[in-house]
Amino acid sequence: AQQVATPKIVLNQSGYYPKLEKSAVILNPVSESKFELLSMPDRKVVYTGVLSELKTTQYSNIKTKLADFSAFDQSGDYIIYVDGVPESPVFKITDHVNHDLAVAALKAFYYQRASTALDVTYAGKWYRAAGHPDTSVYIHPSAASKNRKADSKINVSGGWYDAGDYNKYVVNSGISTSTLLSAYEDFPEYFVGQEVHIPHTKNKVPDVLTEAVYNLRWMLKMQDPGDGGVYHKCTNLNFDGMVMPDQALSKRYVVAKGTAATLNLAAVAAQAYRIFKHFPEQYPGLADSCLSASRNAWRWALNNPNVVYDQDLLNKTSDLKVNTGAYGDKNFEDEWIWASAELLASTGEQAYYNAFFARLNTPVSLPSWSNVGILGYYTLIRCERQLPESYKSITSILKKKILTLADRYLNAFKTGAYHTVIGASLDDFAWGSNSSAMNQSILLINAYLFSKNEAYLDAAVSNLDYVLGKNATGYSFVTGIGYKSPMHPHHRLSFADGIAEPIPGLLVGGPNREKQDGLKYDSEPELSYLDDVNSYASNEIAINWNAPLVYVANAMECIEKG
Ligand code: 9MR
């Protein structure tokens, strides 16, 4: 596969919106002070600017200068030219510059579907046979209950593969599904017009919902109807080899019910109820099933408020040892906040308000699979008008807390060596760092939606610039987008299919200073990335990383239009 040299001028390889801030970064400049924007292919100078002063970054030895061309807003193809430096590749400035990205990022979920064949009509050259039917999955001893004995079997077919592996984890499914549903709730008309080319029902619903329902139905199957508790995951005991799904034939299990998984379902199903009650013909009964699943899950969690999924402990006490992703979370306060907020927004009932209110002073921060509280804030603000009158005032407190974070991000954006939000803190370079970038952007977009302060949009789009190439590595971290993007993601489907190009539209994890895969690559936080199929710590893909990319790319396409 192609090896593309790291450019010296890094920029958003997808391109820029005319009306928002636009900058490129010169890596390790010597004495350069001016830059030019040349239109292509005629190479006419259309804009001249002064490079910023030299900036240093905290998390590598790289020095930078910024080329800010925000003042230029004419659509077209361009390069950045700096005397003595290899010129930048061609990039676009245009409306809808992220149309293809927005579609590809959502389509990636279709490619992640378990238990089904992908037809060439939709999947193109990445069509494949069905695998992991999961219609007859064993109850692991840790998951046994009165009505479901160990070794009996249940049907938990469907859903998305979590990541580069073929297992399905409720905890991570929760934030992923909800992020897609929230994208729809925030921009419903926009999504009506979006065509992703996936199979749909006769009475068409927006593709983002069709895709979300594929996973939602699986999540509902992960609930024990006997008591409302939800299994933590559907998994092999060990990760599959690097083979296609139809070659992966290990026994599958559902493992251990837990409080985190159960509250995840409570939250997602409550949100789904709110949305799908408007689609009774397309999805008869789905909304009601979701609401009762959510209430039953909530009840189970009230009775079982502290059931941690502790895989090490489980393996000490069971002969059937489970060695796949743990998604072990010990703190459930954020799950309570999220689930209570979703149930409150969907039902207006006092009990959920009380549960939410009791945690009003619990700090919230950037969301991740283990930290979901702020998703509940987004929801209550979004659904403010539907809330009972006496509960409405609470949203001003939530907005204030979101703005505190948004202002911190805005400051990082303004002062950062790459003019991006991400990169201000060492925590920005952990496992799945690119998803932190996208979740920061979601927070900023939410802040914009209720404040209408456009500065937040510039900051939000800066992290899109980052994941699409304006970073120390020079990679666009989305497969198939840009001139230098990952060719070897840690992704069984992309590796085993015999096709040179990886499945498109996938956001890889990105720089991860901890390099848990033990491979040799740069240790500087900003550069700790390797496009190697074995680099599961920096080059895997995951549904909870792609979902915020879907949100941000589509939100920017929608807002930009409006
Ligand atoms: O995204 C998860 C990350 O936050 C954890 O540090 C890491 C190690 O536990 O696991 C990541 O999630 C992986 C999951 O456990 C299994 N499927 C692939 C996920 C992405 O790497």
Residue located via tokens 């987004």 = 378
Q: Which atom of ligand 1 lies at the shortest distance from residue 370's CA?
A: 4
CA 489 – CA 479 distance, rounded (Å): 8
Query: ipTM score here?
Result: 0.99
pLDDT tens figures, 104-134: 999 999 999 999 999 999 999 999 999 999 9
Active-site positions read: 490, 531, 540
The closest residue, in CA terms, to atom 21 on ligand 1 is: 540
What sections of 205-364 are H helices per DSSP? 207-221, 259-276, 286-303, 311-317, 333-347, 350-357
Q: Which atom of ligand 1 lies at the shortest distance from residue 545's CA?
A: 1
CA 79 – CA 98 distance, rounded (Å): 18
Name which of 457, 455, 456, 464 is nearest 420 in CA terms: 464
Asked if 477 and 508 count as a contact pair (C-beta separation under 8 A), the reply is yes
Q: Model pTM?
A: 0.98
pLDDT in tens, the chain (562 residues): 345 677 799 999 999 999 999 999 999 998 989 999 999 999 999 999 999 999 999 999 999 999 999 999 999 999 999 999 999 999 999 999 999 999 999 999 999 999 999 999 999 999 999 999 999 999 999 999 999 999 999 999 999 999 999 999 999 999 999 999 999 999 999 999 999 999 986 678 999 999 999 999 999 999 999 999 999 999 999 999 999 999 999 999 999 999 999 999 999 999 999 999 999 999 999 999 999 999 999 999 999 999 999 999 999 999 999 999 999 999 999 999 999 999 999 999 999 999 999 999 999 999 999 999 999 999 999 999 999 999 999 999 999 999 999 999 999 999 999 999 999 999 999 999 999 999 999 999 999 999 999 999 999 999 999 999 999 999 999 999 999 999 999 999 999 999 999 999 999 999 999 999 999 999 999 999 999 999 999 999 999 999 999 999 999 999 985 4
Q: Which atom of ligand 1 lies at the shortest distance from residue 536's CA?
A: 21
Q: How far is the CA of 161 from the centre of ligand 1 (A)?
A: 13
The closest residue, in CA terms, to atom 10 on ligand 1 is: 325
Concatenated DSSP letters of 26-77 = EES-SS--EEEEEETTTTEEEEEEEPPPPEE-SSSS-EEEEEE-TT----EE
The backbone torsions φ and ψ at residue 39, rounded to the nearest 5 degrees and listed phi first, read -80, 150
The closest residue, in CA terms, to atom 8 on ligand 1 is: 325
Fold of 99-392+541-561: Glycosyltransferase (1.50.10)
Q: Which two tokens stand for residue 293?
A: 């699943």
pLDDT tens figures, 50-79: 999 999 999 999 999 999 999 999 999 999
